[in-house]
């Protein structure tokens, strides 16, 4: 009699930890749609434009995905099989791709077979397009509706961006392809891929149930692909093993392999496009809110908050979630305003542009660089980030759990409010901190791009 009661009790204990920690995680995803940096393209362009190996490349011919997979069916079947074996052997928390959806070179619908094999959202828009940079001319190309680029019901976020169509055989520059592709993972590639996503592919893909994030939210299901927790304490992983169920490292590895393959077989458009997809996750992980469960909060405090919740005192947890959400949003909004202002003013001497354009020290990229260097640097900066937010941003926005930052008028005035309270010093401190993150972003991007290009014939 003792045993069943004990087991029942144990199960009861286990699941609330998962639920509560899951809820804490969920908050960082509710913020600005699980986007780490606003408009990756505005950040990546200055980096790529100062890499001669990218910026000085001759224009290339556009190719559709169907054309690429048809021309390379046999080779892709071999590449993806080899890559799958490698992932199973080398990534300890990898969720294997079910054998039933392996790429089949004899399939009548090769594009669908490929999409299933790389486990992306079949509704994602993979047609060739270019996202124009501020001030860039359409060159007579048809402007695309945002719905032709992104899958979401609410596309308000895209109102300030301009997309144009490019067709098979047209010439485009590699930097245009890369900068555009860099945002693709936030446009729908990773939506609806879990068994509880209520989609057909969710049941096929083998990713299991969504470990955290709210599956009911439109953007919610991409969270475990755009966040990676690799450096939390072992006790936290023991209490909440689902924290291991994140996949940006897998995405980066796969897109790098596909990019190198496309270049080696003369399909440069897809070489650059897959490179851009991988670059996205490298940018995301440089942001501490995507690499760290609760920046600035100790493991002990985190566990205690959850323990109190389980004992029937949920307020500390509710407050923690609100603060996490508010701070994440503050950082992104500050970045967005500073970035757009630098573009408007053509202020290329700003701390932001200096950080993005300088030739900085770059590590040689290897298979564990994403986790051991990029994610680790980001995790290590999380305390400093939390500290700066507490010190230089008005208290209401970062330390008042009764205040909802999302949708507030204060968040739009963030730069002005920092200036009112802390003068130019506040702006300088926060801008310099942002520049530190951008310098990592710069170094990580160069490292990854160079690693792929070193294989380009």
Task: Find the Cα–Cα–Cα–Cα dihedral 223, 229, 235, 238, rounded to 10°.
Answer: 60
Q: Which residue has the tokens 């897998």?
A: 250
Cα(29)–Cα(42) distance, integer angstroms: 22
**Residue nearer to Zn ion on the CB measure, 116 or 290:** 290
**Residue nearer to Zn ion on the CB measure, 63 or 284:** 284
Least distance in Å: CB of 315 to Zn ion?
Answer: 31
Least distance in Å: CB of 437 to Zn ion?
Answer: 15
Output DSSP code: residue 133.
P
Query: Which residue is nearest to Zn ion, using beta carbons?
Result: 226
**Residue nearer to Zn ion on the CB measure, 249 or 284:** 284
Handedness of CA 86, 88, 89, 94 (dihedral sign): positive
Provide φ and ψ at 422, rounded to 5°.
Answer: -120, 5
**Residue nearer to Zn ion on the CB measure, 176 or 186:** 186
**Residue nearer to Zn ion on the CB measure, 22 or 185:** 185
Least distance in Å: CB of 149 to Zn ion?
Answer: 15
Cα(333)–Cα(212) distance, integer angstroms: 24
Least distance in Å: CB of 295 to Zn ion?
Answer: 17
**Residue nearer to Zn ion on the CB measure, 151 or 427:** 151
Which tokens hold the place of 170?
A: 């047209």
Least distance in Å: CB of 151 to Zn ion?
Answer: 14
**Residue nearer to Zn ion on the CB measure, 179 or 418:** 179
Q: List interacting residues with Zn ion (CB under 5 A).
A: 186, 226, 284
Q: Which contiguous run of DSSP H or E holds residue 144? A: strand 143-144
Least distance in Å: CB of 399 to Zn ion?
Answer: 27
What are the residues facing 131 on neighbouring strands? 163
Least distance in Å: CB of 18 to Zn ion?
Answer: 24
Q: Which residues contact residue 289 at a Cβ distance below 8 angstroms, ignoring those fewer than 6 apart?
A: 28, 31, 36, 295, 324, 327, 328, 331
- CB < 8 Å & 24+ apart, contacts of 47-51: 47/356, 47/357, 47/441, 47/442, 47/445, 47/446, 48/175, 48/178, 48/179, 48/445, 48/449, 49/175, 49/357, 50/356, 50/357, 50/358, 50/359, 51/446, 51/449
Provide φ and ψ at 366, rounded to 5°.
Answer: -135, -175
Which bin fits 363, alpha (ψ -120 to 50), beta or left (φ > 0)?
beta
Least distance in Å: CB of 227 to Zn ion?
Answer: 9
Q: How far does Cα 147 stand from its chain's mean position?
A: 20
**Residue nearer to Zn ion on the CB measure, 119 or 317:** 119
């Amino acid at each position: 009699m003792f045993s069943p009661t004990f087991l029942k009790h144990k199960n009861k204990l286990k699941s609330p930890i998962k639920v509560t920690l899951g809820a804490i995680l969920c908050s960082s995803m509710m913020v600005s749609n699980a986007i780490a940096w606003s408009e990756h393209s505005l950040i990546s362009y200055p980096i790529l434009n100062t890499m001669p190996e990218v910026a000085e490349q001759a224009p290339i011919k556009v190719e559709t995905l169907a054309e690429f997979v048809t021309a390379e069916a046999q080779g892709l079947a071999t590449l993806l099989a080899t890559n799958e074996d490698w992932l199973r052997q080398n990534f300890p928390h990898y969720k294997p791709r079910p054998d039933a959806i392996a790429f089949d070179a004899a399939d009548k619908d090769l594009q669908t077979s490929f999409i299933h094999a790389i486990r992306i959202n079949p509704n994602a828009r993979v047609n060739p397009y270019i996202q124009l940079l501020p001030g860039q001319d359409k060159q007579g190309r048809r402007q695309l509706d945002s719905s032709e680029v992104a899958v979401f019901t609410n596309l308000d976020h895209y109102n300030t961006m301009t997309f144009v169509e490019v067709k098979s055989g047209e010439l485009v520059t590699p930097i245009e392809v890369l900068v555009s592709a860099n945002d693709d993972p936030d446009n729908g590639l990773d939506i609806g891929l879990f068994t509880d996503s209520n989609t057909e592919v969710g049941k096929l893909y083998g990713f299991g149930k969504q470990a955290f994030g709210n599956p009911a939210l439109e953007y919610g299901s991409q969270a475990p692909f755009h966040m990676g927790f690799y450096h939390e304490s072992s006790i936290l992983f023991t209490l909440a093993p689902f924290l291991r169920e994140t996949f940006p490292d897998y995405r980066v590895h796969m897109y790098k392999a596909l990019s190198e393959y496309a270049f080696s077989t003369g399909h440069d458009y897809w070489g650059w496009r897959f490179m851009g997809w991988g670059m996205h996750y490298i940018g995301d992980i440089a942001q501490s809110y995507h690499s760290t469960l609760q920046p600035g909060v100790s493991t002990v405090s985190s566990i205690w908050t959850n323990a109190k919740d389980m004992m029937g005192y949920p307020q500390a947890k509710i407050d923690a979630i609100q603060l996490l959400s508010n701070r994440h949003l503050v950082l992104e909004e500050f970045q967005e305003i500073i970035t757009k202002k630098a573009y408007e003013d053509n202020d290329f001497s700003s701390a932001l542009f200096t950080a993005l354009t300088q030739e900085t020290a770059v590590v040689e990229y290897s298979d564990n660089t994403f986790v051991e260097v990029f994610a680790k640097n980001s995790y290590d900066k999380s305390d400093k980030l939390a500290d700066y937010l507490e010190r230089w941003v008005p208290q209401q926005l970062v330390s008042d759990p009764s205040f909802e930052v999302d949708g507030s008028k204060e968040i739009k005035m963030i730069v002005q409010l920092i200036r009112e309270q802390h003068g130019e010093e506040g702006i300088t401190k926060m801008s310099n901190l942002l520049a530190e993150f951008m310098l990592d972003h710069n170094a990580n991007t160069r490292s990854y791009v160079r690693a792929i290009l070193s294989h380009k014939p």
